[in-house]
Structure 1
Amino acid sequence: MDSAIDTAPSTLKAGEPADRSLPAASSAGPAGGVKRKAGDIRDRLEQEIATGTHPAGERLDEQVIAARFGVSRTPVREAINQLVAGGLVERIPNRGAFVRAMGLAELVEMFEVMAELEAMAGRLAARRIDAAGAKRLETALVACEAAADREAHDAYYYENERFHEAIYDACGNAFLAGEARRLHLRLKAFRRLQLRFPHRMRQSLAEHRRIVAAIEAGDGPGAEAELKGHILVQGERFADLVATLKP
């Protein structure tokens, strides 16, 4: 089964009007605006690839995408580069950028490895976290709570990223943190998608609270178990969501 689930044909047609639901660019200046637009486009394409709107093997045409979102090709090119870095898209010399085939079995395997890496990071963080690290972790938890209260799934995902980053930094093992970050990037689209499963965001938040409690208590085995379950359930929820997307 490909990562791009066959639920609908691509809607990226030449001459389409700009997608006006794209958030406004940052007012921080031209460079900041391009970066913001690229991130917004990446997020939209990322979700569409994960849900099968753009199936495996489809070519992503920069000009068509730029017309769709009403932007120049510069942020589109940057967005596609980010998708390439995340493993969702591959560039083929002299042909362009294409949605990469990724089977459900491969995704489940990556979630299993991710669970082990996060579990180890949590166990080490419980032994090594300092006052500054604990404060950063608590701040990230509060931000997750605020996003959950607003039912803001995408905002919650990005606060969730910061939450896990705090754990990676607190573990005191740069190699482990680097490997976790690389795999986190590969799974980003699917970790975002599973948060839209009914009640998953609230369940994730409850898991975050237990993780923080274990780390702050210096309970290495407890933090390890909580983080492992936290990631494995994401893989299960993703598989459930895929099943609901089948025609």
Structure 2
Amino acid sequence: MQRRLLAAGPHSGAASLATSVEAELEALIARGELGPGQHINELALARRLGVSRGPVREAARALERMGLVTVILNRGAFVRELEIDEALAIYDLTALLIGYAAGRLATSITAAQALELQTFVTEMEAAAQDGRHDAFFDLNVRFHKRQFTFAGNAPVEEVYLAHTRKLLLLRRRSFDESSNMQQSNAEHRDVMDAILSGDPETARQVAERHARSGRARFLRAIAYRQT
């Protein structure tokens, strides 16, 4: 199905188009439509999006800088194959970052912010019950991103996003089972309870425990066995 992207205006059109193509390519990777190791066909994608090959090539290079794509001279662009050891290292790092954000929120969260995060939890519960894996995954990503935004430390949020973006290559597998979605969201409720308790140390510990549980779900999902 072709999806035509339109530029925003005469002055910002080129930049807007490049950004739109980049977002579309990232979404294809996140949804698994382009899997690890798969060649990114510039011509086919350009036709699908209704653009020339130039913006597609620029998007691939941008995603290469993000760690999602590998560009090989004379062969083209490929979705990156993330090594398991690197993925586990990212999980270890994000556990610390998620704990940090939760701890900050415990002493600063507003009623409006709490309501928004609780709404995510409610929507994830419905998605888990209905078996809507893609919806759950997207809500989960947004739930954690908003915590970092609300925590108010832009450099930490930037580090978190830069590293967790790479996990898009593998992380969706963690929610293939409905039981994994339900368990993950039960932990989200625990994190929210800890944040709302106002105790930063408790919030940090509960959030880090959630991240470590996510790491364990990831390992089970890919049937990985450490030697």
Same-fold call, TM cutoff 0.5: yes
The answer to whether residue 175 in structure 2 is matched with residue 188 in structure 1 is: no
Structure 2 length normalisation: TM-score?
0.76
The answer to whether the 8 A contact 1:59-1:98 is kept is yes
Distance 1:41 1:100, change over 3 A: closer
- Output one character per residue of 1:20-48: Cα deviation in whole Å (capped at 9) or x when no partner: 6xxx859xx8459x888976664444426
Q: How far off its partner does 1:149 sit?
A: 3.0
Where does 1:97-108 land on structure 2 (aligned, <5 Å)?
A: 97-108=77-88
Percent of aligned pairs with the same residue? 29
Distance 1:196 1:105, change over 3 A: same
Distance 1:31 1:193, change over 3 A: farther
CA distance in 1, matches of 2:78, 2:141: 27
| Partner in structure 1 of residue 105 of structure 2 | 125
Q: How far off its partner does 1:164 sit?
A: 0.9
Partner residue of 1:219 out of 199, 205, 220: 199
Q: May I ask how many residue pairs the two structures share in their alignment?
A: 212
The answer to whether residue 219 in structure 2 is matched with residue 239 in structure 1 is: yes
Structure 1 length normalisation: TM-score?
0.71
| Partner in structure 1 of residue 116 of structure 2 | 136
| Partner in structure 1 of residue 128 of structure 2 | 148
Distance 1:221 1:118, change over 3 A: same
CA distance in 2, matches of 1:172, 1:38: 27
- Output one character per residue of 1:122-156: Cα deviation in whole Å (capped at 9) or x when no partner: 11111121223222222222222232232211111
CA distance in 2, matches of 1:194, 1:36: 28
Show structure 1 runs of 5+ residues with no match: 1-19
Where does 1:32-71 land on structure 2 (aligned, <5 Å)?
A: 42-46=26-30, 47=32, 54-55=36-37, 59-64=39-44, 70-71=48-49
CA distance in 2, matches of 1:141, 1:196: 18
The answer to whether residue 106 in structure 2 is matched with residue 115 in structure 1 is: no
RMSD of aligned Cα (Å): 3.2
